[in-house]
Structure 1
């Protein structure tokens, strides 16, 4: 089997596709592991990458995908309760197989302050981090603030195209492409950052009202911005400002610039 500079796990999702594109653009040999690899003519397929079917939850296809891979980046997600074993059991199986295969370096994408919330999804992500950092291989965690794409979903929760803003919440959104660059850097260069957990945030922080106004402007719409509550653990996390990283501004694309391109 041909060697690969990089194996991207979850490489067909939002972050994974950005990582694959960034790595291919650098001329790297990129292999993608996914439960459902895109077909040759599928829109989400990145030309120049090698796609393999596999499932980290069961171990199917793992050995073959890891053989000859120098480094791996894990961008898997599992927001739904039924999907969370992907983050926990999957991480355990993947890191054990990677160590056995002689993978030199592993990088996992995570969320800023994910270990400071009892929200179920965040607990699973925190466990995923622990499994990587406790594995028998060189591992790094990259914690990012919320993607522009995620923040934009909160701007149009109301019907009839009206804009919404979560009460008493600020976001510091970052472009997924900016995150992808950091992930690839970390996978390629062990000396890129000495800390085992790296934090990165977007270039600007805004109230959700400001973000909603930018969303309206980009679509040429007018009207009131409707304040909405966000109950539960996630709402408390956001209102406490734990989703922000003001001292770790790494992104280059603002929310307004991202909207102009989307």
Structure 2
């Protein structure tokens, strides 16, 4: 049985992809800066990356950081994948990267384009934001007595394990190019999602909705990051909160 390499295999998404593939009986190499024996910083590349890819026909590229470096990491991965004869590169991106002029989204879109031009067999899946990201956002905002939110913005959060399962399935199939996006089951206002978080954690905070300005806010407000016709996810935000915080 061939081995699949998962970049960012210790991260929020990558660890679930790894677990799913291993549970289904597939060999997996986990690549991240702190993983062993494949501790590689993709932004630097180098011989350790070549060693990690040796004999690997399929790569699932989950490594990503909003702090920068994704394009350099992708270029190093693509070059090394060509040298190693990788047959299939699977990449997870974000719904709306071609519509929302937010810096991180633009970077993800640039990585998509690099992969499409790479000459490698590839599959690209765009997903909406994970439930975990919203929890992280609300935890940060709830440190103050008033929880501020951008007015008239909705989201369509999806369960990370469902995205991981979809990626695992794509990795086991033939390269498919850009596949249909994957969105969560509900489109909800940030206000309602924040209030669900506060109920689940037992916190009391005032919630205020602030109108913002600029092209990025306008794109989020008009739903550029949503996939209403592709709401294929099943798990709701409340179900995620109940599992995480043990409250109804």
- How does the TM-score come out when normalised to structure 2? 0.89
Deviates more, 1:26-35 or 1:93-102: 93-102
1:96 deviation in Å?
2.1
Tell me which residue corresponds to 1:63: 50
CA contact (8 A) 1:173 1:201 kept: yes
Give the direction of change, closer, same or farther, for the CA distance of 1:11–1:234 in structure 2 (3 Å limit): farther
Work out which of the residue numbers 120, 128, 140 in structure 2 matches 1:137: 120
CA-based RMSD of the aligned residues comes to 2.1
Secondary structure of 1:56's aligned partner? coil
* Runs of 4+ displaced beyond 6 Å: none
List aligned pairs for 1:131-210, cutoff 5 A.
131-156=114-139, 157-160=141-144, 163-190=147-174, 194-210=176-192
1:76 aligns with 2:79: no
- In structure 1, how many angstroms separate the alpha carbons of the residues matched to 2:32 and 2:214? 32
Verify the 8 A CA contact 1:155 1:211 in the aligned structure 2.
no
Structure 2: unaligned runs, 5 residues or longer: none
Residues 229 and 74 of structure 1: CA distance in aligned 2, closer, same or farther (over 3 Å) = farther
Report if the CA contact (8 A) 1:96-1:136 is conserved.
no
Q: TM-score, normalised by structure 1?
A: 0.85
> How many residue pairs get matched?
242
- Kept in 1: contact 2:32–2:63 (CA 8 A): no
Distance 2:31 2:211 in 1: 38
Q: 1:208-227, CA deviations, whole angstroms, 9 ceiling, x for partnerless residues?
A: 11111211221234453232
- Show structure 1 runs of 5+ residues with no match: 39-50
Contact 1:66-1:101 within 8 A present in 2 as well: yes
